[in-house]
Amino acid sequence: MHNQNQNTKAAKIAVVLTDPDDWTANAFLTSIRKRGANALPINLSTLSVSVSTSDFSIFSTDLNDLLELDAIIVRDVGISSSLEQISFKFDLLRLFETANIPVMNSPNAIQNAANKFFSFYLFKQAHLPIPRTVVTSDLGVAMKAIEEFEIVVAKPIFGSQGKGIFKLEASQPDLKQKLATLLKERGVLYLQQFVPNHGRDIRVFVVGEEALGAIYRISQAGSFISNLSQGGTPLMCDLTEEMRALAVNATKTVGADFAGVDLIEGDEGLFVLEVNATPSGKGIKVTCGIDVTERIIGRMFERGLRV
Ligand SMILES: Nc1ncnc2c1ncn2[C@@H]1O[C@H](COP(=O)(O)OP(=O)(O)O)[C@@H](O)[C@H]1O
Ligand SMILES: [Mg+2]
């Protein structure tokens, strides 16, 4: 039945977003419309569910047939105020998937990528180079790791945009106090060996099996964090085979269809820092002129909409 409808009616593709002014969200909407499909912006926090023994529906004030969507692109799930809210948002994405609506990136891939501990475990299993990392709630273990690593970067396990990232050094006199405070705040410490670098990292954009382009992100003077949202400056980067292979493999390892992969150049080669499965496409558009959203929507159509 639905296939017949698809022949006569334009496909309905939702873009999950939180900021209606976001460049990437708007580029997704435009790329969908260019293909002759209807593009629907949706904020997951506006959705409601009704479930009973015999019925199930997902609805919002303006939409009452969300299970009729033909595909979903996730730009941004949004910061949530509680574990319950974030869990509900991911459950909604999982429900769409079980209703045979392709969700890109899949909630599983987004969760794997967002988790800086679990993704590192997956990278290790896939033999990808990663900086040494210790995750612990034991202050003694944390102190020992810092002594061994000499300089560490403490990160939230779930974090983004360079927020909540600190450099700690084995030689600093207030180290134990700082760690104790951080541990109290976070409940668990994620400590990664600092990779000495040239004040920049590399953001590679991957769609499917292909690395489309990359930018260096040069950190602001006095900072070691190169995220554009932290004042980093983008610069075109010519992809090497090593960069391509690492970025494509890292993307595949978390199960993502598209991603922004952060690499850092150490003395002995490249390391994977993270895979972002809800990346911004703005930096690479502005710097290299590549609109990744067109390629992502292209891939979605190639893989097929709801059947
Ligand atoms: N181990 C490290 N060594 C050196 N610099 C790092 C390290 N980890 C992170 N950074 C710097 O901090 C930035 C943010 O780290 P990242 O792991 O990508 O977290 P986020 O999700 O906040 O972007 C990186 O882009 C890089 O500039
Ligand atoms: Mg990053």
Question: Rounded to the nearest 5 degrees, what angle is found at the Cα of 302, between the Cα atoms of 296 and 307?
Answer: 115
pLDDT (mean) for 143-153: 97
**Mean pLDDT computed over 239-250:** 98
Structure tokens at 226: 């190169």
Just give the CATH number of 2-105.
Answer: 3.40.50.20
Reduce the secondary structure of the chain to three states and give it as a string.
CHHHHHHHCCCEEEEECCCCCCHHHHHHHHHHHHCCCEEEEECHHHCEEEECCCCEEEECCCCCCHHHCCEEEECCCCCCCCHHHHHHHHHHHHHHHHCCCCEECCHHHHHHHHCCCHHHHHHHHCCCCCCCEEEECCHHHHHHHHHHHCEEEEECCCCCCCCCCEEEECCCCCHHHHHHHHHHHHCCEEEEECCCCCCEEEEEEEECCEEEEEEEEECCCCCCCCCHHHCCEEEEECCCHHHHHHHHHHHHHHCCCEEEEEEEEECCEEEEEEEECCCCCHHHHHHHCCCHHHHHHHHHHHHCCCC
Class level of CATH domain 133-193: alpha beta
For the Cβ of 262 lying below 6 angstroms from any atom of ligand 1, the answer is yes
Average pLDDT value for residue range 216-241:
95
**pLDDT tens profile 95-114:** 999 999 999 999 999 999 99
Q: What is the pLDDT of residues 259-299, one digit of tens each?
A: 999 999 999 899 999 999 999 999 999 999 999 999 999 99
Is there a shared CATH topology between the 133-193 domain and the 196-277 domain?
A: no
CA-proximal residue: ligand 1, atom 10 (nearest): 225
The answer to whether the CB of 273 is under 6 A from ligand 1 is yes
Residues 6+ apart with CB under 8 A from 24: 75, 76, 279, 280, 281, 282, 293
Under CATH, what is the fold of the domain 196-277? D-amino Acid Aminotransferase; Chain A, domain 1 (3.30.470)
Whether residue 3 is predicted with pLDDT greater than 60 in this model: the reply is no
Q: Which residue has the higher pLDDT, 129 or 6?
A: 129
**Kind of pairing, strands 48-51 and 56-59?**
antiparallel
- What's residue 8's pLDDT? 62
pLDDT at residue 75, as a whole number = 98
> pLDDT value at position 7?
52
Residue 64 pLDDT: 77
Q: What is the pLDDT of residue 81?
A: 83
Q: Residues with Cβ within 5 Å of ion ligand 2? A: 262, 274
Q: What is the reported pLDDT for 188?
A: 98
| CB 37 near ligand 1, within 6 Å | no
Name the residue of 123, 130, 153, 228 whose CB sits within 8 Å of the most ligand 1 atoms, as the mutation to test its pocket.
Answer: 153
pLDDT at 4: 44
Distance CA 76, CA 22 (A): 10
Whether 5 shows a pLDDT value over 50: the answer reads no
Which amino acid is residue 241, in one-letter code?
Answer: E
- For the question of whether the overall pTM of this predicted structure is more than 0.85, the answer is yes
Q: Provide the pLDDT for residue 113.
A: 98
Residue type for 39, please? A
- Cα–Cα distance, 246 to 292 (Å, whole number): 19
Q: Residue 51: pLDDT above 70?
A: yes
Domain ranges of the chain: 2-105, 133-193, 196-277
Sheet with 210-218, strands from edge to edge, namely 233-237, 210-218, 200-207, 258-266, 269-276
